[in-house]
Amino acid sequence: MRKPLAIICAIAVSFGLGALVAGSSGAPGTAGGDWELDVPAAAAKLWFPPADQYDNEGEPLSDESFEELMTALEVAMTAEETLADFEREADLHLWNFMRRLSVPVVGDEQKERVHAYLDALAEEHPDSKVIGQRKGMVDSYASHMPSMPGFAGFVTLFEEAEGSYPEEGEPFEDWQVDRMLAELEVVASLPEATGDFDTELRIPLWQMGNRLQRSVLNDDQTERIVAFLDELEVTYPEGAEAIGQQRFVVENLMPGKVAPNIVGKDTEGVEFTLEDYRGNIVALIFSGQWCGPCRGEYPYQRGMLEAFKDRDVVLLGVNSDAVLDTIVQAKERERLDYRTWWDGHSQPEADLVAAKGPIATQWNVVGWPTIYVIDDEGVIRHADKRGGALVAAVDKLLMDKTMREYQERAEEEAEEDAEVDAEVDAEKGAS
């Protein structure tokens, strides 16, 4: 499975990655047609002096190294490839420049030079937004940091170009899976990548998993992705935990998979399980009072409790507050009368947040809130629905369930009527 991707990657690196990495799977313009990975020119080759030259454990940045860096920046920002798509390319160039300022101690005169250069650059490109954004970060990045930020994790290839991925809830096509795996492999092999998993690959791996969960994989595609992750773990053994979590997502937390059972204690200390609620549409809400976006979901949750009262819909929470009384009081104050696992007891030393409890860890929750929608047969139907989209998704599943039950009853009644008619006909024949 990895051989074609390795070939793609080798070709990309041997030609400096170029502007595009293409793979053919059919006629151009069709759903299964030619696909392209649009690799920014700023990421395709080494534009700046080697990063390790600036990773000097907090020593002053020498004038020689600074001048070399400024010269490289001027070349990068005036290159034909940069001017062709300035905002995209300039953003990466400026990030690559500034990450080299993060470890050494940058002198005041050197910082003034950087500010002056960016001011002049902004005059040349008055419509640019990225120059001002990066300029505002110069002073903070020019202070000594213990380690240099990565580069590959900053290069976003998982863009929503039309046709690149299926619509939400729709099945993946094989070529779309190929493209996604090729993206991750190219990101791992960018010339600026350090080879350190946490620095370079943790974020792209999460991005890939997040995109996968919006649509549906078949069994063969699942196996191919798992095989890819297995080999990725061989290459990056230090990333085994994160890769294993992503493997669990692909095998267990995708739309169409039966949700893993959850066993734990609620806020009153009573043990219960997710499987206890089979037969209901379940909104599984990973939340915490410490989390602003989580609190922003409270009005929708109150509305759902009222709208779906006495219907086959339940809300279940997984709470990540470190102190039990925090969520108990919040649920009472916010009128959120739904059952909740308290997951915070796994980290009693935390002051406010215990986001790495056993349930959240099993479900690989790294963004809060995360909300799954599970159907009445325990199958995950949606991942990370929020607000009105959550309400609509639950309502649609409830309507589908109601219609299915109506059809089943109609079929049962038709069968009963047919049996009665058969008995009547038999009696008539006997007489």
Residue in 218, 146, 156 with CA at minimum distance from that of residue 184: 156
* Residue that is last in its domain, among 108, 123, 152: 152
Per-residue pLDDT band for 431 (boundaries 50, 70, 90) equals: low
Question: Which of helix, strand or coil describes residue 264?
Answer: strand
d(CA 330, CA 315): 16
Non-local (6+) Cβ contacts of 384 within 8 A are 210, 213, 367, 370, 371, 372
> pLDDT at position 275, please?
98
Q: What is the crossing angle of helices 2-14 and 174-188, to 10°?
A: 50
Q: How many CA atoms lie within 13 A of 194 on its CB side?
A: 21
Asked whether residue 389 carries a pLDDT value surpassing 50, the answer given is yes
Task: Give 326-376 pLDDT, tens digit per residue.
Answer: 999 999 999 999 999 999 865 555 568 889 899 999 999 988 999 999 999
Q: How many CA atoms lie within 13 A of 221 on its CB side?
A: 18
> pLDDT at position 350, please?
54
* Residue that is last in its domain, among 152, 169, 193: 152
Domain that holds residue 148: 42-152
Q: Are residues 272 and 162 in the same domain?
A: no
Is residue 373 domain-resident? yes
CB atoms within 10 A of CB 390: 23
Q: Are residues 269 and 371 in the same domain?
A: yes
Q: Are residues 46 and 102 in the same domain?
A: yes
Q: Are residues 198 and 336 in the same domain?
A: no
pTM: 0.78
Task: Taking residues 169-178, report their average pLDDT.
Answer: 92
Is residue 425 domain-resident? no
Q: What is the crossing angle of helices 219-235 and 174-188, to 10°?
A: 10
Distance from the Cα of residue 55 to its chain's centroid: 30
Residue in 150, 192, 154, 155 with CA at minimum distance from that of residue 48: 192
How many percent of the chain have pLDDT more than 70? 88
Q: What is the DSSP letter of 201?
A: T
> pLDDT at position 271, please?
97
Asked whether residue 12 carries a pLDDT value surpassing 60, the answer given is no
Q: Are residues 147 and 159 in the same domain?
A: no
How many percent of the chain have pLDDT more than 90? 65
User: With contact defined as beta carbons under 8 Å apart, do 193 and 14 qualify?
Assistant: no
d(CA 250, CA 247): 5
Q: Are residues 31 and 163 in the same domain?
A: yes
Question: Which of helix, strand or coil describes residue 253?
Answer: coil
Mean per-residue pLDDT of the chain: 87
Q: Are residues 138 and 169 in the same domain?
A: no
Non-local (6+) Cβ contacts of 129 within 8 A are 87
Q: Are residues 382 and 311 in the same domain?
A: yes
> pLDDT at position 5, please?
37
Non-local (6+) Cβ contacts of 426 within 8 A are none
Per-residue pLDDT band for 17 (boundaries 50, 70, 90) equals: very low
Per-residue pLDDT band for 422 (boundaries 50, 70, 90) equals: confident
CA distances from 30 to 9, 79, 159 (A): 24, 34, 19
Q: Are residues 176 and 247 in the same domain?
A: yes
> pLDDT at position 150, please?
86
Task: Give 21-54 pLDDT, tens digit per residue.
Answer: 333 333 233 345 567 777 899 999 999 999 999 9
Task: Give 349-361 pLDDT, tens digit per residue.
Answer: 556 888 989 999 9
> pLDDT at position 285, please?
98
Q: How many domains does the chain have?
A: 3
Strand partners, 266: 341
d(CA 21, CA 24): 10
> pLDDT at position 6, please?
37
Is residue 407 domain-resident? no
Q: How many CA atoms lie within 13 A of 235 on its CB side?
A: 16
Is residue 146 domain-resident? yes
Non-local (6+) Cβ contacts of 363 within 8 A are 253, 260, 286, 318, 370
Is residue 337 domain-resident? yes
Q: Positive or negative, the Cα torsion across 251, 254, 260, 264?
A: positive
> pLDDT at position 377, please?
96
CATH of the domain at 286: 3.40.30.10
Is residue 116 domain-resident? yes
Q: Are residues 54 and 74 in the same domain?
A: yes
Is residue 401 domain-resident? no
CA angle (88, 34, 14) in 5-degree steps: 60
Task: Give 82-115 pLDDT, tens digit per residue.
Answer: 999 999 999 999 999 999 999 999 999 999 999 9
More confident call, 428 vs 157: 428
Residue 234, phi then psi, degrees to nearest 5:
-65, -40
User: With contact defined as beta carbons under 8 Å apart, do 114 and 107 qualify?
Assistant: no
> pLDDT at position 227, please?
97
Task: Taking residues 191-198, report their average pLDDT.
Answer: 84
> pLDDT at position 261, please?
97
Question: Which of helix, strand or coil describes residue 231?
Answer: helix
Task: Taking residues 210-223, report their average pLDDT.
Answer: 94
* Residue that is last in its domain, among 124, 152, 180: 152
Q: Are residues 34 and 159 in the same domain?
A: yes
Task: Taking residues 253-282, report their average pLDDT.
Answer: 97
Is residue 106 domain-resident? yes
Q: Are residues 187 and 174 in the same domain?
A: yes
Task: Give 154-168 pLDDT, tens digit per residue.
Answer: 776 666 666 678 888
Task: Taking residues 412-423, report their average pLDDT.
Answer: 76
Start-to-end Cα distance in the chain: 72
Residue in 137, 113, 134 with CA at minimum distance from that of residue 122: 134
CB atoms within 10 A of CB 80: 7
Question: Which of helix, strand or coil describes residue 162?
Answer: coil
